[in-house]
Amino acid sequence: MCGITAVAGPGDEDVVDVLLGGLRNLEYRGYDSAGVATPGDGGVSVVKREGGIDDLASALDAAAVAGSVGVGHTRWSTHGAPTDANAHPHTDCDDRVAVVHNGIIENYSTLREELLARGHSFTSDTDTEVVPHLVAERLAAGASAAEAFRDTVARLDGRYAVAMVVDGEDAVYAARDGSPLVVGVGDDRRFVASDVPSFLEHTADVVFLEDGDVVRVTADDHVVTDADGRRADRDVNTVDWQPEDAERDGFDHYMLKEIHEQPAAVERAVNGRITAAGGVDLDGFPPGSFGDVDDVQIVACGTSYHAALYARQLLAERGVPTQVFSAGEYATTPAPVGDDTLVVGVTQSGETADTLASLQAAADRGARTLAVTNVVGSTAARTCDDALFIRAGPEIGVAATKTFSSQVATLTLLAERLAEDVTGSVPEERAAVLRALERLPSDLQDVLDRAAVEPLAAQFRDRDGHFFIGRGVAYPVALEGALKFKEITYEHAEGFAAGELKHGPLALVTPDTPVFAVFSGRHDDKTLNNVEEVASRGAPVVGVASEESTDVVDAVDEFLPIPDTHPVAAGVLANVQLQLVSYHVADLLGRSIDKPRNLAKSVTVE
């Protein structure tokens, strides 16, 4: 949530258009206002607006702002309503300092009261505004910009990322503590941003900052120091993403593009990890890597939580004791762990605040930690004992699609490795599971090539509610299908374990409540019984199952086929059909599909 972008360019270059481009590339993170600031010799120029980037661009045209250094921000409101005044950047009383900020400053009330008592005045309701005023005080006391920034950051409590420009300085100052920041290293300019796509069209060479880092960025250099002011060496990495990965490539929405990218994403997740002899070869995890593990705990949020439930099902079937926790709950009430407990954090961004807090709580209590994430260099990848990457590439749409498929594929391979190491034997189903994973990219493409959900979407676009049910691995798919539907259509949707319908939810079933029943090829007879329960009450039923499932075809009103495969892969295929249903219903309703209201891509506050 929120997006920071900043650039330091050559002295004769105007970077405002680069800042706007960076902000557009961060729109997927979710926002309700935007702004930019550029320093000069007579003060800092700030233009900011409630609304979208286009509103900001129009205001910038009218203001004729220019500069070779600048910061920009897309705000997702926490303190104060989405207004022009509350939009970032924020300045001090004399407009010498401009600051943008992600996260929450927990002690801002105390700091604000101190500043008010010393004669400062405020123009917003935000926690951020205390920062430029604190910096200005230190500048007035004779400190350099670097000293003033470092002293100010040291006074902040909470989780944050901050970037600053000061009049008369051709530099950007930035710091992070719990919220992501990355430096982009170009040929003649440097960038600071919340995420790589902000500047990917300019450079793929990046430096991931760590908690406590402070950086000074100029056009031709960057200097990173740690929390104590000592020079910190941070490696320059080249991300394996291409600029076109962050473009729509002719699709109407990023979400639709990313749904169609799933065959390639899963291919990357699986590639090189299945040996010719039918074994599992995970990067850095040879056989025996988890031989000292007795039990597994998985922590995650949202879509990643559903992928975690999928993995728990596989591990349970293979005899590995496994629990799944919502990271927001685990962070405040951790489960008992021991030296033989493996805690796996599943997080697309590697920056999800609740998941990071859960992993830290587990590590503090002696557990081994493993991050399953999409982002090399993310906080989760750096701070956990180990990391396993899903290789999905950048995902711009707020509603996760290809990352779910890649997480499930990667977690399936991890489950196979864990099962062998923990139980001391190769799972009986391994050969069949690995064959299904190898076929999964082509099976996904088959679903996409033959999908025809538009008529069904038109049929179910205006209903009282939408239920999604399943058993085994189909249960987390039902949860994910319901989540995707509510995220982008804004219509009521709920997912249930199929057997739970008769324990309460059945009271809500009417002829105006379509039920999407997911079949994996395992326990289908029981799910068919639940289909009969809702059908007898007049509910229309949509079945998602193997095209060879004649019993399902006969029992449902509408049928969405998937290729016949192993149950482990069937859930991923069924999920694609449900993604397409959600997408087309949302499109018919005119929803903001890539940027659904109130939601953010990377949730970096608890």
Same domain for 265 and 220? no
Looking at 441, 463, 481, which one is the last position of a domain? Answer: 441
Can 2 be counted among the known catalytic residues?
yes
Catalytic residue among 2, 257, 484, 486: 2
Can 384 be counted among the known catalytic residues?
no
Catalytic residue among 48, 402, 595, 601: 601
Q: At what angle do helices 430-450 and 402-423 cross, to 10 degrees?
A: 170
Same domain for 208 and 308? no
Same domain for 137 and 191? yes
Same domain for 419 and 493? no
The CA distances from residue 184 to 10, 11, 180, 195, 216, in Å, are 15, 18, 13, 10, 13
State the DSSP string of 77-94: -SSS-S-TTTSSPEE-TT
3-state secondary structure of 480: helix
Residue 370 domain flag: yes
Report the pLDDT value the prediction gives residue 578, as an integer from 0 to 100.
97
Span 202-220, mean pLDDT?
93
Report the pLDDT value the prediction gives residue 564, as an integer from 0 to 100.
96
Q: Which residues contact 404 (CB under 8 A, 6 or more apart)?
A: 303, 306, 307, 480, 575
- Among residues 378, 379, 407, the alpha carbon closest in space to that of 391 is found at 407
Contact predicate 451/573, CB 8 Å:
no
Report the pLDDT value the prediction gives residue 283, as an integer from 0 to 100.
82
Same domain for 362 and 475? no
Same domain for 253 and 239? no
Whether 134 shows a pLDDT value over 70: the answer reads yes
- Among residues 352, 347, 386, 381, the alpha carbon closest in space to that of 368 is found at 386
Whether 378 shows a pLDDT value over 90: the answer reads no
Report the pLDDT value the prediction gives residue 112, as an integer from 0 to 100.
95
CATH of the domain at 390: 3.40.50.10490
3-state secondary structure of 507: helix
Average of per-residue pLDDT values in the chain: 91
Report the pLDDT value the prediction gives residue 244, as an integer from 0 to 100.
57
What pLDDT band is residue 398 in, cutting at 50, 70 and 90? confident
Label each residue of 409-464 as H, E or C. HHHHHHHHHHHHHHHCCCCCCHHHHHHHHHHHHHHHHHHHHHCCCHHHHHHCCCCC
Looking at 441, 465, 481, which one is the last position of a domain? Answer: 441
Same domain for 38 and 132? yes
Residue 322 domain flag: yes
Same domain for 307 and 165? no
What is the amino acid identity at position 397? G
Whether 308 shows a pLDDT value over 90: the answer reads yes
Contact predicate 3/195, CB 8 Å:
yes
Render pLDDT for 432-453 as a digit per residue (tens, 0 to 9).
999 999 999 999 999 999 999 9
The CA distances from residue 586 to 105, 490, 532, in Å, are 36, 8, 28
Residue 255 domain flag: yes
Report the pLDDT value the prediction gives residue 372, as an integer from 0 to 100.
97
Whether 516 shows a pLDDT value over 60: the answer reads yes
**DSSP helix, strand, coil percent of the chain (3-state; round to 5):** 40, 20, 40
The CA distances from residue 261 to 258, 300, 435, 486, in Å, are 5, 23, 21, 22
Render pLDDT for 470-479 as a digit per residue (tens, 0 to 9).
999 999 999 9
Render pLDDT for 178-199 as a digit per residue (tens, 0 to 9).
888 999 999 999 999 998 889 9
Q: What torsion do the CA atoms of 325, 326, 327, 329 make, to the nearest 10 degrees?
A: -100
Q: Which of 205-209, 562-566, 595-599 is predicted least confidently?
A: 595-599
Span 404-417, mean pLDDT?
96
Residue 579 domain flag: yes
Q: Which residue has the higher pLDDT, 605 or 376?
A: 376
- Among residues 532, 525, 534, 536, the alpha carbon closest in space to that of 545 is found at 525
Residue 87 domain flag: yes
User: Rounded to an integer, what distance in angstroms lies between the CA atom of residue 367 and that of residue 151?
Assistant: 35
Same domain for 377 and 391? yes
Whether 214 shows a pLDDT value over 70: the answer reads yes
Render pLDDT for 242-271 as a digit per residue (tens, 0 to 9).
655 666 777 889 899 999 999 999 999 999
Report the pLDDT value the prediction gives residue 405, as an integer from 0 to 100.
97
Report the pLDDT value the prediction gives residue 12, as an integer from 0 to 100.
78
Contact predicate 168/147, CB 8 Å:
no
Span 488-516, mean pLDDT?
89
Report the pLDDT value the prediction gives residue 462, as an integer from 0 to 100.
79
Whether 533 shows a pLDDT value over 80: the answer reads yes
* Structural domain for 139, as ranges: 3-245
Report the pLDDT value the prediction gives residue 80, as an integer from 0 to 100.
79
Q: How many residues would you count in the chain?
A: 606
Same domain for 61 and 199? yes
Q: Which residues contact 239 (CB under 8 A, 6 or more apart)?
A: 196, 200, 204, 206, 376
Span 496-520, mean pLDDT?
89
Q: At what angle do helices 567-588 and 430-450 cross, to 10 degrees?
A: 20
User: Rounded to an integer, what distance in angstroms lies between the CA atom of residue 562 and that of residue 573?
Assistant: 6
Report the pLDDT value the prediction gives residue 512, as an integer from 0 to 100.
87
User: Rounded to an integer, what distance in angstroms lies between the CA atom of residue 438 and that of residue 583?
Assistant: 27
Whether 603 shows a pLDDT value over 90: the answer reads no
Count of domains forming the chain: 3
Residue 601 domain flag: no
What pLDDT band is residue 347 in, cutting at 50, 70 and 90? very high
Looking at 387, 412, 441, which one is the last position of a domain? Answer: 441
Type and span of the H or E element at 259 = helix 254-260
CATH of the domain at 87: 3.60.20.10
Report the pLDDT value the prediction gives residue 5, as an integer from 0 to 100.
96
Residue 598 domain flag: no
User: Rounded to an integer, what distance in angstroms lies between the CA atom of residue 41 and that of residue 44?
Assistant: 8
State the DSSP string of 182-199: EEEE-SS-EEEESSGGGT
Residue 448 domain flag: no
Same domain for 520 and 431? no
Span 589-594, mean pLDDT?
91
Contact predicate 66/53, CB 8 Å:
no
% residues pLDDT > 70 (the chain): 97
Backbone angles phi, psi at 274, to 5 degrees: -120, 120
Same domain for 53 and 100? yes
- Look up tokens 């995220």; give the residue: 487
Render pLDDT for 75-125 as a digit per residue (tens, 0 to 9).
877 777 889 999 999 999 999 999 999 888 999 999 999 999 999 999 999
Render pLDDT for 136-183 as a digit per residue (tens, 0 to 9).
999 999 999 999 999 999 999 988 899 999 999 999 999 999 888 999
Report the pLDDT value the prediction gives residue 504, as an integer from 0 to 100.
86
